[in-house]
Amino acid sequence: MTFPEQTASPVSAPQTSRLSQFYVLTKPRVVQLIVFCALIGMVLAVPGIPSLHDIGKAAVACAGIWLVAAAAAAFNCLVEQQIDARMRRTAWRPTARGELSNTMTLAFSGILCAIGSGILYVWVNPLTMCLTFATFVGYAVVYTVILKPRTPQNIVIGGASGAMPPVLGWAAMTGSVSPEALILFLIIFLWTPPHFWALALYRVDDYRKSGLPMLPVTHVNEFTRLQIFLYTLVLFAACLMPFVFRMSGWLYLVVAVVLSIGFSWYGWRLWRNYSDALARKTFRFSLIHLSALFAALLLDHYLV
């Protein structure tokens, strides 16, 4: 799955236990955001206050999605271990440091994926299992193996995998994929490029050393900044769609407008007057933008 990458600590002390090494492979911060977005899809799919049955089903679905997402993250670490070793941001990962063998990492990823898929198939529904597994393939194979090393549009095309969590959540509760779920998909899909490119701008030396064709490496810095700004404008329009299609009310609209103005303002400033510090602030605000936007959807669903 193409998710926001974990931007945790640079090179740190070696892991103290095998268990913690495997835990690091799951990119816990990333997976938490994935499960949170999936949970939003689950909540919005159920009108009114959920029943105990709904809550139980959502909990099981979150567990299954977490396991498959963690498996995808571990597989990504396996495939990109050489690239990770060349980048200061990721050189601390156990696979990059040689602390976990390829066989161990592959087995770990396979076990998590199998258990998660089994949970989704048996206790949720086959559609959710199929969509979640397809998302795993989209991230682990299509994005990581094929797109990421070959095209500067990797994050745009591969972003479809990262935009799937709300769709998975919706399918878990309804057994179908509705237009509302696709609107949530579109928001994350359009959010992903400016989020990643802001990171790539101030980590451009890392990406250049890694050999990955990220946009700031293959194109000039200014072109990337313009793309970020343009994407924030298109994202602004997409963030209004839940209100337009009556998925949400005025509370969400106010929050969405404020957040989108903020993101677009960061994009404009970044385009017109670049600095690494501002790129970092833009990247951090992008995380706030998505989290707060979906939290507003959740609050609006119950309070309005």
Per-residue pLDDT tens for 185-199?
999 999 999 999 999
CB 2, CB 143: distance < 8 Å = yes
CB 75, CB 95: distance < 8 Å = no
Reported as a single tens digit per residue, the pLDDT across 46-105 is 988 899 999 999 999 999 999 999 999 999 999 999 888 888 778 888 998 889 999 999
- The pTM of the full predicted model, rounded to 2 decimals, is 0.89
Average pLDDT value for residue range 225-252 = 96
How far is residue 91's CA from residue 30's CA, in Å, rounded to a whole number? 17
Question: pLDDT tier at 9 (50, 70, 90 boundaries)?
Answer: very low
Question: Which secondary-structure segment (H or E) carries 124?
Answer: none
Q: Which residues in 200-223 are b (16+ Cβ under 10 Å) and which e?
A: bbbbbebbbebebbbbbbeeeeee
Which one-letter amino acid corresponds to residue 266? Answer: Y
Question: pLDDT tier at 4 (50, 70, 90 boundaries)?
Answer: very low
How far is residue 237's CA from residue 235's CA, in Å, rounded to a whole number? 5
DSSP tag of 1? -
Residues in the chain: 304
88: three-class secondary structure by DSSP: coil
Question: Tokens 């909540």 appear where?
Answer: 43
Which one-letter amino acid corresponds to residue 15? Answer: Q
Reported as a single tens digit per residue, the pLDDT across 97-139 is 889 999 999 999 999 999 999 999 999 999 999 999 999 999 9
Closest CA to 28 of 120, 99, 93: 93
106: three-class secondary structure by DSSP: helix
